Amino acid sequence: MVSFGGNPLEGSYDYIVVGAGSAGCVLANRLSADADLRVLVLEAGGRDRSLFIHMPAGVYKVWNDPKLNWNYASAPEEEMHGRQIPVPRGKVLGGSSSINSMVYLRGHPSDYDRWAAEFGLPAWDYAHCLPYFKKAERNQRGENPWHGGSGPLGVSKGASTNILYDAFVASGEEAGIGTSDDLNGYKPEGLGRYDSTKWNGRRCSAAVAYLHPAANRPNLTIVTEALVEKVAIEGGRARSIIVRHRGRQYVVHADREILLSGGAINSPQLLLLSGVGPSEALRGMGLDVQADLPGVGRNLQDHIDLVMQWSCRRNVSLKHLANPFVKAAVGARWLLDRRGPVASNIWEAGGLVRTEAGLPAPNIQYHFAPVAMRYVDNEIRLMQGFQMHVSQLRQDARGHIELASADPARAPRIVFNFLQSEKDRRELVDGVMMARDIVNQPALRAFLGEELLPGPAVTSRDDILRFVQGVSETEFHPSCSCRMGSDDLAVVDTDLKVRGVDGLRVVDASVMPNVISSNLNATVIMIAEKAADSILGRPALDPERPLFFFDEKQVA
């Protein structure tokens, strides 16, 4: 039975998947491929029917749309002038993969080797993760030692012909940072064209890649507008979920397992509402303690991020797209053949760099766009210019998620604790200074006009730090709030089973021990692919470890 909204929530299923985001869509597909299993997927948001979701350049029409987004905000951040930081999260089929900027990056191989070495998780080193990245991927480059060629997730290399992209990448060589033809391949650092989750000019969200192809299976039920309020735990086992759908409350039983895939904000919130978490905090909210797990909601990590902008001396940016006649023409072309400027996700270039010699891996990421953008009265204004996002990848900051109320409909309290360490402040200032160096290389200098943000008056390190504190937000990569491990603060084990509760797993970005050094979507999909094999009792794929450029440097 398949439902997109109106199906009664009664009876029982083998597996209940809570959240149809990047991870939940993968689980829905892989588990329901076994016709003997009954699978229920519950999504608090609606269907992914908006045309702007599927139009790559429509990202700014959807990413903060309240119909598609939880639109959370952090508590006031002490080191950021007490500002509340926006925390957009997808509330729609596909989750954040339906509203993100589609950049496909896996991070640095050392991210996963660090998970294995520091957290006692040998099954999660890079060699064990790569086969699942490849299993998920249908890369335009074709299959090779780093990429898959026949998976569900369409991945394409940036193809826009705008000359500012090429000038930006060329500046990497001139600045001594280096370039890469494939930031997910042999050289996962330097400046280069990004891969993105697009296929044939359309967004390839997790819903498009995994959920829609499985939606007609008779053993898969998908219910939207369904807010899960609690996991009912009896005798140490997760037995059922309590869900509110269109004003009615239902109890749905799981014969095998309940799989939480709500993401780094919603999964810890639901665990806490279900009595799984720090016992003192739960009792303070009037909740019965089912499992005393002090790590639930702790260890929250994200990439702090800021925007820099420059005017462009030549008429080569994407500003012309602001003309309503041009906008109509390029939109019509996309509808006709899925080509043209609207088929671009805008952030087609960027890079992963080290601001200091001797660092084990890149610590700053750039995203580059061949246009400068400002929000005016909640509308985007395009300017003749270009801009970069500057993101810190490996910060000291550790935050937390906690309940603001025992009401499931209330947003949790989100605290990042950004910029509280000298290292974090120093690295972001270094990232701004390196960005200035990049744009002043010969390749980009031919186009370079005035610096708009932070502006020519911001010169000293103290000036830059004040700018950082005043404008930084997040890269929208919350993670690590239900982390894997075996110590007292771990929430799930290596198979993503919640410690102390049978029949319950968490499968999403929250299980990462440390945030990876790039965008998260590719990694979340990999985690879910790997988890599906574990849930189904299948042997893990054989590990693979191709050669990287830093391996050859060590040999030399």
* Residue 477 is a catalytic residue: yes
The closest of 17, 60, 67 to 46, measured between CA atoms, is 67
- Active-site entry in 108, 389, 400, 477: 477
Q: Is 161 exposed, middle or buried (0-12, 13-18, 19+ CB in 10 A)?
A: exposed
Q: What does each C-alpha distance from 122 to 47, 219, 524 come to in angstroms?
A: 38, 34, 18
Using alpha carbons only, what angle is made at residue 333 by residues 331 and 335, rounded to the nearest 5 degrees?
70
Q: For 406, what's the count of Cα atoms within 13 Å in the CB-facing half-sphere?
A: 10
CB atoms within 10 A of CB 363: 22
State the Cα–Cα distance between residues 69 and 65, nearest whole angstrom: 6
CB 306 within 8 A of CB 418: no
CB 223 within 8 A of CB 183: no
The single-letter code of the amino acid at 311 is: S
State the Cα–Cα distance between residues 131 and 150, nearest whole angstrom: 13
CB atoms within 10 A of CB 78: 13
Cα 276 from chain centroid? 25
Beta bridge partners of 18: 42, 260
State the Cα–Cα distance between residues 510 and 299, nearest whole angstrom: 9
Q: What is the DSSP pairing of strand 198-199 with strand 202-203?
A: antiparallel
Distance between the two ends of the chain, CA-based, in angstroms? Answer: 60
State the Cα–Cα distance between residues 72 and 554, nearest whole angstrom: 44
Using alpha carbons only, what angle is made at residue 106 by residues 104 and 112, rounded to the nearest 5 degrees?
165
The closest of 140, 143, 156, 151 to 196, measured between CA atoms, is 156
- β strands within 448-520, DSSP E: 448-453, 473-474, 504-506
Residue found by looking up tokens 């810190």 in the block: 392
- Positive or negative, the Cα torsion across 461, 467, 469, 472? negative
CB atoms within 10 A of CB 226: 25
Q: Is 42 exposed, middle or buried (0-12, 13-18, 19+ CB in 10 A)?
A: buried
CB 446 within 8 A of CB 500: no
Q: What does each C-alpha distance from 5 to 236, 245, 369 come to in angstroms?
A: 32, 9, 38
Q: What does each C-alpha distance from 524 to 97, 129, 182, 261, 535 come to in angstroms?
A: 10, 11, 20, 10, 16
Q: For 546, what's the count of Cα atoms within 13 Å in the CB-facing half-sphere?
A: 15
Determine phi and psi for 95, rounding to 5 degrees.
55, -140
Please give the positions annotated as active site. Answer: 477
